[in-house]
Amino acid sequence: MGRLIARLRENVGARRKIYSGFLAVLCLANLIGLLFAGLWPFDFSPENKAAWVSGGKGLSFDGKRKPWKRSVGSIAYLPTLKGFSQIPTMDNDAFTLAIRLQPTSERTGGIIHFLSLVGRSGTQVFYLGQWRDSLIVRWREAAKDGKRKWREIGAGGALLKAKAQWLTIATDPSGTVIYIDGKAARRYPGRPLPPGAGGLRGCRIVLGNSAEAKSPWTGTISALALYERVLNENEVLDEWGDPPGSFPDTASGPDGLIAAFNLEGGEGERGIDLSGNGNLLEIPSHISVRGRMLEGFDNPYRSGLSLTSDVVINVLGFIPFGFFVFWWFKILGRWSRGRSVLLVVLGGGLVSLAIEMTQAFLPTRSSSLLDVICNVAGALFGIFVFFLLSLAAKSVLKIKNQG
């Protein structure tokens, strides 16, 4: 009798080892799958797709998204603006920005950025984006409740497919005016753009993308001009009116010009500032951008998905992790049920945190605190699914035994 019991125990132990080994392989495969899905395409410095257009037509930006492929698109930027003209202090919170561009398409899937202004603190101050054929200007502003909320102005018909146009934005404390080819399209009294006091001093500009390289735009930019004051309607009309001018006259044009780039006929990795202030437009061969780590719930670069889709995918992705790891722990029998649950949840959180922190260094991915929370919830839900299936299996066996 003792020998029989010993053999049964050996058989049970052997089966447990087999099940444990099989589940360990499943858990490892699941972990590899999560790392692959979270970090693919593993490119910390992707190639910059910005390129000079043949025939001297400007700088081309390729932000097209292809199925099953991730791309940061293109980018060019002006480091800290310098060499400012002598503008009275009372006007240093005003500026005029003019850009000549030609969109390749009228995209509807969210707002894509073609110009971002990054402030002296390193955070994005405002951006110019495209939605269908409309220009969207967005920035964050402190509300009465203390929270920073998005503010928006814009103009329709400013970004027509395959049509080159001058867009001019003139702003000061009294408000903002948007011009299309030298003609006022929209006026916004009492709605000045940031950065406010200090104006453009110390800021940098990103072209063809967001500051974090998460919102690539597709089209061609042929000119850019910045003034450290507001140009009036006559000045704007003279520079970019009908017929639309190709580039401002840097010699006899309006005062206050701080940077001017004619991108028609450019070459190499730098554009030269024609204002004489020594600014350089840099076009790197590769994009190395560190994103913000564990972005908050209002992350605007949430992989292009809606909030609901993003939550569902992140929860579903970690259900197998919670299910198989908890099953493995149960087969091993080393910990109590409560401790096993705790270990699985902590393990899921650590795996998710490692993925999200690494994503901050991947230009093609976004690091989000919401993803970590959803992943942990997915692991916990996987344990719940295991309990449900276990109860169902026990009920079936009970019915068979009774029969």
Is the pLDDT at 324 greater than 90? The verdict is: yes
Same domain, 89 and 220: yes
Phi, psi of 153 (to 5 degrees): -135, 170
| Residue at which a domain ends, from 282, 309, 332 | 282
Same domain, 20 and 72: no
Same domain, 258 and 352: no
In a domain, 6, yes or no: no
Residue 274: CATH number of its domain: 2.60.120.200
pLDDT (0 to 100) of residue 7 = 56
| Residue at which a domain ends, from 235, 252, 282 | 282
In a domain, 288, yes or no: no
Same domain, 121 and 227: yes
Same domain, 183 and 321: no
In a domain, 5, yes or no: no
pLDDT (0 to 100) of residue 187 = 97
- The pLDDT tens digits for 150-166 are 899 999 999 999 999 99
Q: What is the pTM of this model?
A: 0.78
In a domain, 112, yes or no: yes
State how many domains the chain has. 2
Same domain, 105 and 226: yes
Distance separating alpha carbons of residues 84 and 259, to the nearest angstrom: 9
Same domain, 36 and 59: no
- Give residues with Cβ within 8 angstroms of 61, minimum separation 6: 49, 50, 73, 74, 75, 76, 114, 207, 208, 209, 216, 217, 218, 219, 220, 221
CA angle (237, 241, 242) in 5-degree steps: 140
pLDDT (0 to 100) of residue 89 = 41
Domain range for 258 is: 51-282
- The pLDDT tens digits for 27-62 are 999 999 999 999 888 888 888 989 998 877 899 999
Same domain, 272 and 384: no
- The pLDDT tens digits for 277-309 are 888 899 988 887 766 666 665 555 555 556 788
Same domain, 98 and 230: yes
- The pLDDT tens digits for 111-127 are 899 999 998 888 888 99
In a domain, 182, yes or no: yes
pLDDT (0 to 100) of residue 80 = 79
- The pLDDT tens digits for 221-246 are 999 999 988 999 999 988 887 655 55
Distance separating alpha carbons of residues 37 and 90, to the nearest angstrom: 53
